[in-house]
Amino acid sequence: MSKAPDACRSIDVSCTINGQPVTRSAMADTPLLLVLRNDLELNGPKYGCGLGECGACTVIVDGRATRSCVMPWKGAQGRTITTLEGLGSRATPHPVQQAFIREQAAQCGYCLNGMIMTAKALLDRNPNPSDEQIRSALSANLCRCGTHLEILKAVHLAAQLCRESHDHE
């Protein structure tokens, strides 16, 4: 009997998601997005294009904004993953979430997950980005409504709120 290729068999993957250890079994090539949404009921990352081009499915993997629709489940092994749910809650939103709310940086919400998660990863690397750095970081996230100026303002406000929250720690 021949062995099934990795992509065609279920494998156990252990990783950390939103600060919690997780072990799940899924087909090796199942997109991380599907495990997050279908198995773990984490609906922050959205299914958009399925090709890694729109940004709706963005999560943070080991500190980097990552398109979860094209990352295979087997690639999550041993990694630290943060979804929108891992940033904050309705009662205590993360400063990036607060800034997007205050600047009314969303209309339809299609891009919101990707913009917030990408902004969070940017601010973790660069706590005081310029307009150009923000535009560059967010350039691969599609926004259908055209709230680009509000998003830019929100990232600047988030940088300020993050700095203030670190000053109070």
d(CA 41, CA 135): 31
Beta pairing partners, 66: 59
| pTM higher than 0.95 | no
Residue 18: band (very low, low, confident or very high) from pLDDT cuts 50, 70, 90: very high
pLDDT in tens, 116-164: 999 999 999 999 999 999 999 999 999 888 888 999 999 999 999 998 8
